[in-house]
Structure 1
Amino acid sequence: MLRDVLTTFEGVDTWPCDEINYIWRHGNVRYPSDEIPADQASPAVKKYIRGRFEHIAKQTAAEVVVEKTCANSLRVPFVDAVVPEAKYLFIYRDGIDATGSAKLRWTAKLDIPYILEKVRFVPKMDLPYYALRYFWARFYRFFSKEKRLAFWGPALDDMQDILQKHDLDEVCALQWQKCVEQSENAFSTMPEGKVLRIRYEDFVRAPKEELKRILDFMGREVSDESISSAVSGVSAKSLGKGRQSLGEAKVKQLEELVGDTLRRYDYL
């Protein structure tokens, strides 16, 4: 949502797909999780990823390239080693609502147009590896009691252990917790002016005011009329839907599981 809002402005653009995890993982494609450490950002890896940024910037004539890959929340120091000049928008939301949304993706049916959008940006030499993983994930869903994929979303270091010990709701909540905590740990060490924290609920309730704050952080001067137009489709109607879909008993269970992080961000 935020990426799509930002890229309505002149000089701000992004890739024509949802995210580019394949590009970020090139050179580390067989690393067992998305928690790739900064020392894995070799000169060759940096050159490749930065080359992709330079290509999209040239292709779209962008002064600012916006990039939103969920798994980057687990490897901020790695990202910063690759693009040290980057600024970060740390947008977070109620972890229970996020759990409800993530569960839908874990159990989603095949979406061919979505896949074709992303596959265009898979490095050619990595295609066989990802093709096998993708077919395994789909095959697993066919036989799964929870009708879930074998894997989805940011891959944690101990993902297989988590999948064996927890049900899908708990897995989603733990993914949210780890992503938020890992990001916060990295951002807390960065100098002032490099990170802007954005509460999702605040953004959807007061999008014009929040977007103005974001644009100021980015150093972009935009008219009030353009800001109003950019957020015309932003709505707060999704707030609480995740909690409602999970039910009171499950919400209470998840609040106990990830309560420390919920409290840290005033969601509990």
Structure 2
Amino acid sequence: MGATDPIILIGAQRSGTTWLGDVLSAHPSVAYWSEPRHVWTRGFARRPDDVLTAQDATPRVARRIRRTFERFVRARGRERLAEKTPSNCLRIPFVRAVFPEARLLLILRDGRSVIESTERIMRSGMPISRIARRALQTPLTDWPAQAGRAASAIARKATGRPLEYWGVRPPGWRQWVGRDPFHVMLARQWVGAVGRAIDDARSLPEGSVLIFRYEDLVRDPATHAARIAEFCDLRDPELFLSEVTGTLEPSRVDRWRRTLDPAVLDDVRPILTPLLTRLGYEW
């Protein structure tokens, strides 16, 4: 019992990874950990963005990460790890170097939906309880690099101001903050995160990653849930399928059509269109 053969969910924030992780957590063989960023990033807090490479996964780093996840799985009396950390979009080679045996699930979602959902989070702010939980998880050695971000999030929540930035940090993200409107910044974020993830995923050996779209899973849960269960080699796949179909919210798929202003769509269209088209989405 340990962290062997883990299921690693890869996807930008607001792409359905939380929901899929919760579905996996209901399986009796799976110990699910939601967003253990500190496990992956310990010692890397001063990096300018969220990118980590295979070269960063030194034997010492890989051993520490594997042992931490092994303890987590054992403490819960389960057989396998499942986890999701959105910033791992930018770390697929690093994740693979730590866990070469991992089953990677890359979940894609329409960038317009991600923009709409992320902007709502930014304007409402993070719950103080979530900020506190992340702060408590942060190793003391990483606190000097993280304290400013935590303090800013708390201050903005307390005064009702939106967050300056939230989510995955691709290369160049600092240039967008304060320069671009939220929706333009989030369009660049989605392209930077998902574009890199899809390139890295498609360079992996066959059978090590399953790529699928959130919208396809919602519209045809039986087919796609069966593919996921088979790929992950889940015992009793009927349990997984039942949990998928019982928790879907189809109304979320095209909410952006009802809520995003046409002027916003005009602004982000030239940024999003190349990657949307590549992933099979239409404008």
TM-score normalised over the length of structure 2: 0.85
Tell me the distance in 2 between the aligned counterparts of 1:59 and 1:67. Answer: 15
SS at match of 1:9: coil
Tell me the distance in 2 between the aligned counterparts of 1:249 and 1:136. Answer: 30
Give 2:83's match in structure 1, choosing from 56, 59, 67: 67
Which sits farther off after the overlay, 233-242 or 90-99?
Answer: 233-242
1:133 counterpart residue number:
149
1:45 counterpart residue number:
61
1:81 counterpart residue number:
97
1:194 to 1:174, Cα distance in 2 relative to 1, 3 A: same
SS at match of 2:281: coil
Which sits farther off after the overlay, 19-28 or 37-46?
Answer: 37-46
Alignment pair present for 1:93 and 2:109:
yes
1:212 counterpart residue number:
226
Amino acid at match of 1:222: D
Tell me the distance in 1 between the aligned counterparts of 2:57 and 2:164. Answer: 28
1:2 counterpart residue number:
20
1:13 counterpart residue number:
31
- 1:56 deviation in Å? 0.9
Deviations along 1:165-202, one digit per CA (max 9) or x if unpaired, are: 32110111111111111111111111111111111011
Amino acid at match of 1:5: V
Alignment pair present for 1:150 and 2:164:
yes
SS at match of 2:277: helix
RMSD, matched Cα: 2.2
Tell me the distance in 1 between the aligned counterparts of 2:133 and 2:245. Answer: 25
Amino acid at match of 1:255: R
Which sits farther off after the overlay, 68-77 or 236-245?
Answer: 236-245
Gaps of 5+ in 1: none
Tell me the distance in 2 between the aligned counterparts of 1:212 and 1:137. Answer: 40
Amino acid at match of 2:174: Q
Which sits farther off after the overlay, 180-189 or 163-172?
Answer: 163-172
- 1:210 deviation in Å? 1.6
Identity across the alignment (%): 30
Does the 8 A contact of 2:128 with 2:154 survive in 1?
no
1:31 to 1:256, Cα distance in 2 relative to 1, 3 A: same
Does the 8 A contact of 2:89 with 2:193 survive in 1?
yes
SS at match of 1:156: coil
Does the 8 A contact of 1:141 with 1:150 survive in 2?
no
Deviations along 1:100-152, one digit per CA (max 9) or x if unpaired, are: 011122223341332344444322432454233210344467789xx432331
Tell me the distance in 2 between the aligned counterparts of 1:173 and 1:85. Answer: 33
Tell me the distance in 2 between the aligned counterparts of 1:226 and 1:42. Answer: 35
2:210 counterpart residue number:
196
1:167 counterpart residue number:
181
Deviations along 1:29-78, one digit per CA (max 9) or x if unpaired, are: 11111012222222332222112111111111222211110000011111
Tell me the distance in 1 between the aligned counterparts of 2:186 and 2:48. Answer: 19
1:261 counterpart residue number:
275
1:186 counterpart residue number:
200
Tell me the distance in 2 between the aligned counterparts of 1:3 and 1:243. Answer: 26
Amino acid at match of 2:221: P
- 1:249 deviation in Å? 2.1
Gaps of 5+ in 2: 1-18
Aligned length: 264
1:75 to 1:225, Cα distance in 2 relative to 1, 3 A: closer
